[in-house]
Amino acid sequence: MGGGKPEIKNFRKNFLSKKEQMRYKFIVSLEGNSFASNLIWAMFSNSLVLAPKMRCETWFMEGQLKPDEHFVLIDEQNLESKIEYYMTHLKEAQELIDNAHSYIEQFLDKRKEFHIGILVLAKYFYTSKQMDCPKEILNLIKG
């Protein structure tokens, strides 16, 4: 095809598993039609996560993530310069990785996550008038 956009096959690369991706110093995390599905495991890896400003909010509370504290904020113009910077500033890169690991820790308590999930369901069923709640539960979910 002449003079137009390059064909998509020129940009296609072989599939890399999570394990293979984690061998690299950097992992790019991009939102698709919804949230960036690799963000959680990428932040749990020992790679530095590169991501544009996030638009979607999930259970992972992406809105609480701080650019250049938990991940490297990238855009179309700065990707290459950010990689070059962190290739030579390894201590700063490690600090971001450590911050990402600290952020992830709050989600690793299975008992706490279970109870939060129950409270979310209780609030949903209560506010949609599908369930009455005991006073103790109402005190937890109102607000």
Q: Which pLDDT tens digit goes with each residue over 44-81?
A: 999 999 999 999 999 899 999 999 999 999 998 999 99
- As separate numbers, helices (DSSP H) first and strands (DSSP E) second, the chain gives 6, 3
pLDDT at 1 (0 to 100): 47
The model's pTM is 0.78
pLDDT at 2 (0 to 100): 54
CA 122: distance to chain centroid? 26
What distance in Å separates the CA atoms of residue 45 and residue 26, rounded to the nearest whole number?
10
| Helix/strand/coil for 17 | coil
Q: Measured at the alpha carbon of residue 89, what is the angle toward residues 86 and 93, in degrees to the nearest 5?
A: 60
